[in-house]
Chain A
Amino acid sequence: DIVMTQAPLSVSVTPGESASISCRSSKSLLHSNGITYVYWYLQKPGKSPQLLIYRMSNLASGVPDRFSGSGSETDFTLKISRVEAEDVGIYYCGQLLENPPTFGGGTKLELK
């Protein structure tokens, strides 16, 4: 199975500042069709995960454009600009290229 490794485990951010979360996959997530199958999710406290970014850099419906995704074939970054209180929670990256889909261990974002 593809292993997804996230860093850091937790990040503390001042509201209005930006934050970056890294994710590394154990193999390339670039498909021959040119699409990179990495996804980002946010799980707010007590809630279900919600999709933020799909196919590495595409913003899911209803997600503020303060969120952005980028990366290469194996290294990926989720950037949150101008962090707000509603951004608190655990962020997960996931690979949906190969069966079974696998997820990183999560990065907890807190406010200072």
Chain B
Amino acid sequence: QVKLLQSGAELVKPGASVKLSCKTSGFTFSTSYMSWLKQVPGPSIEWIGWIYAGDGGTNYNQKFKGKATLTVDKSSSTAYMDLSSLTSEDAAVYFCARGPIGFAYWGQGTLVTVSS
């Protein structure tokens, strides 16, 4: 069955960067889109962007351009998201999800805490 396994919680200092991972199984990763979403207490969900694993093509929410960078490793069926220059505004739970839309499958989420 489809599985999306995300990396563990991160505690990062303001100004630092962090790389989150999403290891997938149960479907053909190399021809799939992977999306990333952000959830903060409120609650609210924001779509960050997607990446097409086939050619690495990306589509970002304008709000997250310069903040998030999406990449994939087809050899390990893993999607990655780099978050740069972290501030308190970036503290959230980040989810990966399969697909450019619909999001029928989600990872379990990675909590990112930003603190000195």
Instruction: List chain A positions with a Cβ less than 8 A from chain B.
Output: 37, 39, 41, 43, 47-51, 54, 60-61, 90, 92, 94, 96, 99-103, 105-106
Please tell me if the beta carbons of A106 and B44 are within 8 angstroms of each other in the complex.
yes
For the complex, is B26 an interface residue (Cβ under 8 Å from A)?
no
Closest 6 CB pairs of A and B: A96-B101, A48-B106, A100-B61, A103-B45, A101-B47, A51-B104
Contact size class for B? 10 to 19
Q: Which of B98-116 contact A (CB under 8 A)?
A: 101-104, 106-109
For the A-B complex with A94-B45, A106-B42 known, give 17 more contacts whose Cβ atoms are closer than 8 Å.
A39-B101, A41-B103, A48-B95, A48-B108, A48-B109, A49-B45, A49-B106, A54-B102, A92-B45, A96-B102, A99-B61, A101-B101, A102-B47, A103-B45, A103-B47, A105-B43, A106-B44
Q: How far is the CA of A48 from the CA of B96 in the complex (A)?
A: 10
For the complex, is B88 an interface residue (Cβ under 8 Å from A)?
no
Question: Of A50, A90, A106, which one neighbours B106 at CB under 8 angstroms?
Answer: A50
For the complex, is B85 an interface residue (Cβ under 8 Å from A)?
no
Nearest CB in chain B: distance from A44 CB, A: 12
Smallest CB gap from A48: residue in B: B106
Specify which chain B residues have a CB less than 8 angstroms from the CB of A51 in the assembled complex.
102-104
Q: How far is the CA of A41 from the CA of B62 in the complex (A)?
A: 24
Please tell me if the beta carbons of B62 and A100 are within 8 angstroms of each other in the complex.
yes
Smallest CB gap from B47: residue in A: A101
28 CB-based A-B contacts, threshold 8 Å: A39-B101, A39-B102, A39-B103, A41-B103, A43-B43, A48-B106, A48-B107, A48-B109, A49-B45, A49-B103, A51-B102, A51-B104, A54-B102, A60-B104, A90-B43, A94-B45, A96-B101, A100-B61, A100-B62, A100-B63, A101-B101, A102-B46, A102-B47, A103-B44, A103-B45, A103-B47, A105-B42, A105-B44
Specify which chain B residues have a CB less than 8 angstroms from the CB of A103 in the assembled complex.
44-47
